[in-house]
Amino acid sequence: MSRTLSEAESKKLLESHGVQFLPEELVSGPDEAAAAAQRLGFPVVAKLCGDNIAHKTERGLVRLGLNSAEAVSAATRELLDAAVPGDSALGVLVAPMVDGDRELIAGANRDAQFGPTVLVGVGGVLAEAIEDVAVRLAPITPLDAREMVEQLGAQRLLGEFRGEPPVDVDVLVGILMALSAAVTEPLPDGSLIASVDLNPLIVHRGRPVPVDALVELADPGPGTAAGASGAATSGGGRR
Protein backbone atom coordinates (compact mmCIF):
# COMPACT_ATOMS: atom_id res chain seq x y z
CA MET A 1 0.00 0.00 0.00
CA SER A 2 1.34 3.36 -0.98
CA ARG A 3 0.33 6.36 1.11
CA THR A 4 -0.42 9.94 0.26
CA LEU A 5 0.82 12.96 2.15
CA SER A 6 -1.47 15.77 3.16
CA GLU A 7 -1.42 18.89 1.02
CA ALA A 8 0.59 20.75 3.66
CA GLU A 9 3.13 17.93 4.00
CA SER A 10 3.30 17.51 0.23
CA LYS A 11 4.09 21.17 -0.18
CA LYS A 12 6.70 21.11 2.55
CA LEU A 13 8.47 18.17 0.94
CA LEU A 14 8.43 19.79 -2.51
CA GLU A 15 9.57 23.12 -1.07
CA SER A 16 12.66 21.37 0.21
CA HIS A 17 13.46 20.56 -3.43
CA GLY A 18 12.85 24.10 -4.60
CA VAL A 19 9.19 24.31 -5.62
CA GLN A 20 7.90 27.72 -4.50
CA PHE A 21 4.39 27.89 -3.09
CA LEU A 22 2.45 30.90 -1.91
CA PRO A 23 2.48 31.56 1.82
CA GLU A 24 -0.44 29.75 3.45
CA GLU A 25 -1.49 28.71 6.90
CA LEU A 26 -2.79 25.48 8.34
CA VAL A 27 -5.40 26.31 10.97
CA SER A 28 -7.61 24.23 13.23
CA GLY A 29 -10.65 26.44 13.73
CA PRO A 30 -12.79 29.28 12.32
CA ASP A 31 -11.26 32.12 14.37
CA GLU A 32 -7.73 31.10 13.54
CA ALA A 33 -8.76 30.88 9.88
CA ALA A 34 -10.16 34.40 9.89
CA ALA A 35 -6.97 35.73 11.49
CA ALA A 36 -4.84 33.92 8.93
CA ALA A 37 -6.92 35.38 6.12
CA GLN A 38 -6.38 38.87 7.53
CA ARG A 39 -2.63 38.32 7.47
CA LEU A 40 -2.61 36.81 3.96
CA GLY A 41 -4.98 39.39 2.46
CA PHE A 42 -8.36 38.81 0.81
CA PRO A 43 -9.58 37.06 -1.19
CA VAL A 44 -8.45 33.67 0.11
CA VAL A 45 -9.28 30.02 -0.45
CA ALA A 46 -9.94 27.50 2.30
CA LYS A 47 -9.33 23.77 1.81
CA LEU A 48 -9.72 20.81 4.07
CA CYS A 49 -6.29 19.32 4.62
CA GLY A 50 -5.60 15.71 5.62
CA ASP A 51 -3.49 12.66 4.91
CA ASN A 52 -6.01 10.95 2.73
CA ILE A 53 -7.97 13.58 0.86
CA ALA A 54 -7.42 13.02 -2.81
CA HIS A 55 -10.47 14.44 -4.55
CA LYS A 56 -10.97 17.71 -2.76
CA THR A 57 -12.72 19.52 -5.58
CA GLU A 58 -15.14 16.74 -6.38
CA ARG A 59 -16.12 16.49 -2.71
CA GLY A 60 -16.62 20.24 -2.33
CA LEU A 61 -13.73 20.57 0.09
CA VAL A 62 -12.26 23.65 -1.61
CA ARG A 63 -13.89 27.07 -1.05
CA LEU A 64 -12.76 29.79 -3.40
CA GLY A 65 -12.91 33.59 -3.35
CA LEU A 66 -13.61 34.14 0.33
CA ASN A 67 -13.72 37.90 0.74
CA SER A 68 -14.32 38.50 4.44
CA ALA A 69 -13.41 37.17 7.88
CA GLU A 70 -17.02 35.98 8.29
CA ALA A 71 -16.94 34.07 5.03
CA VAL A 72 -13.65 32.45 6.00
CA SER A 73 -14.93 31.41 9.43
CA ALA A 74 -18.12 29.98 7.99
CA ALA A 75 -16.30 28.06 5.27
CA THR A 76 -13.83 26.66 7.79
CA ARG A 77 -16.62 25.45 10.03
CA GLU A 78 -18.35 23.74 7.10
CA LEU A 79 -15.16 22.11 5.89
CA LEU A 80 -14.37 20.69 9.32
CA ASP A 81 -17.94 19.42 9.57
CA ALA A 82 -17.64 17.75 6.17
CA ALA A 83 -14.57 15.76 7.14
CA VAL A 84 -15.06 12.00 7.55
CA PRO A 85 -12.77 9.83 9.68
CA GLY A 86 -11.08 8.35 6.61
CA ASP A 87 -9.76 11.78 5.63
CA SER A 88 -7.39 11.89 8.60
CA ALA A 89 -8.08 15.62 8.59
CA LEU A 90 -5.39 17.81 10.08
CA GLY A 91 -7.16 21.12 9.70
CA VAL A 92 -7.95 23.75 7.11
CA LEU A 93 -5.46 25.39 4.78
CA VAL A 94 -6.01 29.09 4.20
CA ALA A 95 -4.20 30.47 1.16
CA PRO A 96 -4.31 33.56 -1.02
CA MET A 97 -6.66 33.23 -3.98
CA VAL A 98 -4.73 33.15 -7.25
CA ASP A 99 -6.53 34.15 -10.41
CA GLY A 100 -5.59 33.45 -14.02
CA ASP A 101 -7.25 32.23 -17.19
CA ARG A 102 -4.72 29.51 -17.93
CA GLU A 103 -3.97 26.36 -15.99
CA LEU A 104 -1.08 23.94 -16.40
CA ILE A 105 -0.16 20.73 -14.63
CA ALA A 106 3.21 19.38 -13.61
CA GLY A 107 4.03 16.10 -11.99
CA ALA A 108 6.31 13.18 -11.46
CA ASN A 109 5.80 9.45 -11.59
CA ARG A 110 7.59 6.18 -11.15
CA ASP A 111 7.09 4.14 -14.32
CA ALA A 112 7.21 0.35 -14.14
CA GLN A 113 9.67 0.14 -17.04
CA PHE A 114 11.41 3.49 -17.11
CA GLY A 115 11.58 4.46 -13.43
CA PRO A 116 11.17 8.07 -12.34
CA THR A 117 9.64 10.49 -14.86
CA VAL A 118 8.63 14.13 -14.94
CA LEU A 119 5.58 15.51 -16.71
CA VAL A 120 4.22 18.88 -17.78
CA GLY A 121 0.96 19.57 -19.54
CA VAL A 122 -2.05 21.69 -20.14
CA GLY A 123 -4.23 21.72 -17.02
CA GLY A 124 -7.72 22.75 -16.14
CA VAL A 125 -11.00 20.89 -16.25
CA LEU A 126 -10.47 19.79 -19.86
CA ALA A 127 -6.90 18.53 -19.29
CA GLU A 128 -7.78 14.85 -19.34
CA ALA A 129 -9.72 15.22 -22.55
CA ILE A 130 -7.02 17.30 -24.23
CA GLU A 131 -4.11 15.10 -23.09
CA ASP A 132 -1.46 17.60 -24.11
CA VAL A 133 1.49 16.52 -22.01
CA ALA A 134 5.22 15.96 -22.34
CA VAL A 135 7.12 13.35 -20.32
CA ARG A 136 10.86 12.85 -19.73
CA LEU A 137 12.90 10.39 -17.69
CA ALA A 138 14.24 11.92 -14.49
CA PRO A 139 16.71 13.31 -13.77
CA ILE A 140 16.24 15.94 -16.46
CA THR A 141 18.46 18.82 -17.50
CA PRO A 142 17.14 22.40 -17.78
CA LEU A 143 17.34 21.91 -21.57
CA ASP A 144 15.14 18.78 -21.31
CA ALA A 145 12.66 20.82 -19.26
CA ARG A 146 12.63 23.62 -21.82
CA GLU A 147 12.07 21.09 -24.62
CA MET A 148 9.18 19.55 -22.69
CA VAL A 149 7.47 22.92 -22.70
CA GLU A 150 8.27 23.41 -26.39
CA GLN A 151 6.79 20.01 -27.16
CA LEU A 152 3.31 20.91 -25.89
CA GLY A 153 0.76 21.31 -28.65
CA ALA A 154 -0.92 24.33 -27.12
CA GLN A 155 1.92 26.76 -27.80
CA ARG A 156 -0.56 29.59 -28.27
CA LEU A 157 -1.72 29.08 -24.71
CA LEU A 158 1.85 29.63 -23.57
CA GLY A 159 2.31 32.88 -25.48
CA GLU A 160 0.54 36.18 -24.80
CA PHE A 161 -3.04 35.29 -23.98
CA ARG A 162 -6.12 37.43 -23.39
CA GLY A 163 -4.13 40.41 -22.28
CA GLU A 164 -1.81 38.39 -20.06
CA PRO A 165 1.92 38.13 -20.71
CA PRO A 166 3.48 34.88 -22.02
CA VAL A 167 4.05 32.05 -19.55
CA ASP A 168 7.35 32.50 -17.76
CA VAL A 169 9.11 29.40 -19.03
CA ASP A 170 12.03 29.86 -16.62
CA VAL A 171 9.66 29.48 -13.67
CA LEU A 172 8.15 26.37 -15.24
CA VAL A 173 11.61 24.94 -15.89
CA GLY A 174 12.49 25.59 -12.24
CA ILE A 175 9.41 23.67 -11.09
CA LEU A 176 10.21 20.72 -13.38
CA MET A 177 13.81 20.62 -12.18
CA ALA A 178 12.57 20.56 -8.59
CA LEU A 179 10.14 17.71 -9.36
CA SER A 180 12.97 15.82 -11.06
CA ALA A 181 15.10 16.14 -7.94
CA ALA A 182 12.18 15.17 -5.70
CA VAL A 183 11.33 11.98 -7.58
CA THR A 184 14.97 10.96 -8.04
CA GLU A 185 16.28 11.40 -4.51
CA PRO A 186 15.10 9.14 -1.69
CA LEU A 187 13.62 10.77 1.40
CA PRO A 188 15.74 10.84 4.57
CA ASP A 189 13.97 7.68 5.77
CA GLY A 190 14.84 5.92 2.52
CA SER A 191 11.35 5.95 1.07
CA LEU A 192 10.72 7.04 -2.50
CA ILE A 193 8.16 9.26 -4.10
CA ALA A 194 5.73 7.28 -6.26
CA SER A 195 4.04 10.29 -7.77
CA VAL A 196 3.64 14.04 -7.51
CA ASP A 197 0.73 16.08 -8.82
CA LEU A 198 0.90 19.84 -9.03
CA ASN A 199 -2.58 20.40 -10.35
CA PRO A 200 -3.28 23.08 -11.18
CA LEU A 201 -0.51 25.53 -11.78
CA ILE A 202 -2.53 28.71 -12.25
CA VAL A 203 -0.85 31.10 -14.64
CA HIS A 204 -1.10 34.43 -12.84
CA ARG A 205 0.18 37.35 -14.92
CA GLY A 206 2.40 34.92 -16.81
CA ARG A 207 3.79 33.21 -13.75
CA PRO A 208 2.78 29.56 -13.19
CA VAL A 209 1.82 29.28 -9.53
CA PRO A 210 1.22 25.85 -7.97
CA VAL A 211 -1.86 26.08 -5.78
CA ASP A 212 -2.25 22.42 -4.87
CA ALA A 213 0.13 19.54 -4.34
CA LEU A 214 -0.28 15.84 -3.78
CA VAL A 215 2.65 13.54 -3.07
CA GLU A 216 2.25 9.81 -2.97
CA LEU A 217 4.99 7.73 -1.38
CA ALA A 218 5.91 4.30 -2.68
CA ASP A 219 6.09 1.26 -0.48
CA PRO A 220 9.54 0.57 0.69
CA GLY A 221 9.72 -2.73 -1.18
CA PRO A 222 12.13 -5.41 0.00
CA GLY A 223 15.45 -4.31 -1.39
CA THR A 224 14.10 -2.93 -4.65
CA ALA A 225 13.13 0.43 -6.01
CA ALA A 226 9.78 0.75 -4.36
CA GLY A 227 6.76 0.79 -6.60
CA ALA A 228 8.72 -0.07 -9.70
CA SER A 229 7.80 -3.60 -10.59
CA GLY A 230 10.83 -4.49 -12.61
CA ALA A 231 9.36 -7.86 -13.43
CA ALA A 232 8.29 -7.03 -16.95
CA THR A 233 8.24 -10.35 -18.70
CA SER A 234 9.00 -10.34 -22.34
CA GLY A 235 9.23 -13.38 -24.47
CA GLY A 236 11.26 -11.33 -26.92
CA GLY A 237 10.67 -11.45 -30.61
CA ARG A 238 8.75 -13.59 -32.98
CA ARG A 239 8.38 -13.73 -36.65
- Residues in CB range of 174: below 8 A, 6 or more apart: 18, 20
Nearer Cβ to another protein, position 26 or 108?
108
230 touches another protein (CB under 8 A): yes
Which one of 3-11, 22-30, 134-142, 176-184 is the stretch in contact with another protein (CB under 8 A)?
134-142
156 touches another protein (CB under 8 A): no
Least CB distance to another protein at residue 196 (A): 15
Nearer Cβ to another protein, position 125 or 232?
232
> Do the beta carbons of residue 116 and residue 137 sit within 8 Å?
yes
The torsion angle over the Cα atoms of residues 98, 139, 8 and 35, rounded to 10 degrees, is -40
Phi-psi region of 120 (alpha: psi -120 to 50; beta: other; left: phi over 0): beta
Task: Look at residue 103 and give its three-state secondary structure.
Answer: strand
181 touches another protein (CB under 8 A): no
134 touches another protein (CB under 8 A): yes
Could you give the CA distance from residue 164 to residue 198 in angstroms, rounded to a whole number? Answer: 22
Nearer Cβ to another protein, position 51 or 185?
185
Could you give the CA distance from residue 119 to residue 160 in angstroms, rounded to a whole number? Answer: 23
Which one of 16-24, 59-67, 80-88, 105-113 is the stretch in contact with another protein (CB under 8 A)?
105-113
Tell me which residues touch another protein (CB under 8 A): 111-115, 117, 119, 133-137, 140, 143-144, 147-148, 151, 230, 232-239
